Amino acid sequence: AAQDMLERAAPATATRFDAIVIGAGMSGMYQLIRLRELGLTARVFEAGTGVGGTWYWNRYPGARFDSESYSYGFSFSEELLQDWSWSEHFAPQPETLRYLNHVADRFDLRRDIQFKARVSRAAWRDATRDWAVTLEDGSEFTCRYLITAIGVLSTPTLPRFEGMDSFRGLSFHTARWPHEKVDFAGKRVAVIGTGATGVQTIQEVAKTAGHLTVFQRTPNWCAPLHNRPITEEEQKEIKANYAEIFRRCQETFSCFLHTPDPRGTFEVTKEEREAFYEQLYASPGFGIWVGNFKDMLTDPAANAEISDFVARKIRQRVKDPKVAEMLIPKNHGFGTRRVPLETRYYEVYNQPNVLLVDSKATPIRRVTPTGLETSEQAYEFDIIIYATGFDALTGAFDRIDIRGEGGLTLKQKWSAGAQTLMGMLVEDFPNMFMLLGPHTALGNIPRSIEYNVDWVTALLRHMQARGLTRAEARPEAMAAWTEHVKAVGAGLLTNQVDSWMTGVNLNVEGKQTRTIARYSGSAPEYRAWCDRIAAGGYRELDLA
């Protein structure tokens, strides 16, 4: 397939590079372009057989953007922007993967990418000021700079049910979806999990499955996506306005086109409030989540208002009142977890071939050769889909044996919770730069990626110009940053519920309780902090 152009990948003859990048998703691809501009030799190691990261792995039916396509691509090249035309306001995964392959072609990236190459170990050697990098197949490489581009949601996690291997039908995690088409017609299908992935999967699979059973442990608050094709007129307008689109993204709280309304929920009348909610519910994209009243995620009373509004919508859309109640979250307010955006998701539960099972009330006990058993009854399936999420933020780091100064492992360093400087550097791990490490600003991820890559690139340029070869975060700077991360997270309702954003994953040992896992301040605030460090000549780093 055009998507997996393995044969054009780099030959694995050289073993020593200025920089090694782990991962050929959006971060790794863009970092490679910038490393070349610095004149550095680089190799990207990628576990998959093609570029695209998230968009390479997540091939489940219905996977698509829920941020506006034109705000989500790379912004660094005007030619690329003009060259590529998104077909829908919220592009489906196959289109995004085509786009990223187009980027790889356009910038001739594959010659420096080694596919089917999973990094298992990286060890710092202070005497030679380099990293020794080992792949799963045992091959060894060295580099001065180690750049992790391993993603935030890249390590899928499965439940730990007894008998999972005994199932005789098809079963897969959504992020390990087969490259071949899976046919659901006439099949009895189970979906476990109702996060953003589960919701997208369910609404698509329900269209063709013979029978679909959804196992929901915790309902999430969902809102309509309102996707549609981009018209020719709109396409022209988008292409003429890219500068403006990306300028706006830089100004908003999370780099989305949407940003909080400056009004407080109770500064307006009940009628105005209702009208505003209606307008947001009828508008495309994340407006209802990140463009709502400014106090929605800080004032519990404000949050209760919008939660009540969305609950009423669910009751209107789901015919069976008992099922509607099952779908309305009771343990967290609207927007305090990532809001899945949906297209006729709630209506799926009005179909006669769809059953919703409460897997908190009746937990799944075991998987059997022909289906699964809950505490209450046995079910038979042809296909079991695990939409059970990821070991987020630190999971991908934990899977690599990363050793810094004196053999200290990153896992040890972070045993009491992640500690970083701006999510990009860690004391004791010199010359390791993380793109989208824990405690970076997330939001519109490609915007964060471009910022992180440019910041690291500027640091490398600074070092190059001065003949410096070693960079390490200072402990006091890291402590100050970690304090700042905690401070901006205080009082946020989002940080008071269990989700991947608070570092909780019940399927992963040591992730049963909440931590401050991500940066919850604004993107402009994040960038101001990082820009200040660069402008001050990197005094928060030990450079030598």
Chain residues binding ligand N01 by CB under 6 A are 65-66, 153, 159, 192-198, 200, 215, 217-218, 338, 359, 364, 387-390, 500, 506-507
Q: Residue 385 CB, nearest distance to ligand N01 (Å)?
A: 11
Cβ within 8 Å of residue 23, ≥6 positions away: 44, 45, 46, 53, 148, 149, 150, 151, 154
Q: Are 392 and 156 in contact (CB under 8 A)?
A: no
Q: 172 or 266: whose CB is closer to ligand N01?
A: 172
Q: Output 403 or 511, the one with its CB closest to ligand N01.
A: 511
Q: Which is nearer to ligand N01, 218 or 494 (CB)?
A: 218
350 Cβ contact list (under 8 Å, min separation 6): 318, 319, 320
Residue 300 CB contacts under 8 Å (≥ 6 apart), including other chains: 333, 493
What is the nearest approach in angstroms of ligand N01 to the Cβ of residue 241? 23
- 280, containing H or E segment: helix 270-281
Looking at the Cβ atoms of 194 and 259, the one nearer to ligand N01 is 194
Shortest distance, position 451 Cβ to ligand N01, whole Å = 18
Q: Which residue is nearest to ligand N01 (CB)?
A: 195
Q: Which is nearer to ligand N01, 216 or 457 (CB)?
A: 216
Residue from 238, 152, 243 nearest 448 by CA: 152
Nearer to ligand N01, 35 or 222 (CB): 222
**Sequence-ordered strand ranges (E) for 359-500:** 364-368, 371-374, 378-380, 383-386, 401-403, 432-434, 471-473
- Considering the complex, what minimum distance in angstroms separates the CB of residue 175 from ligand N01? 7
> CA-CA distance, 151 to 97, in Å (whole number)?
16
Residue 124 or residue 500: which is nearer to ligand N01 going by CB?
500
Residue with tokens 């990098």: 133
CB of 191 to ligand N01, least distance (A): 9
26-37 and 93-106 helices, crossing angle to 10°: 10
Least distance from ligand N01 to the Cβ atom of residue 258, Å: 15
Rounded least distance, CB 465 to ligand N01, Å: 38
Spatial contact of 256 and 286, defined as CB atoms under 8 Å apart = yes
- What is the distance in angstroms between the CA of the first residue and the CA of the last residue of the chain? 47
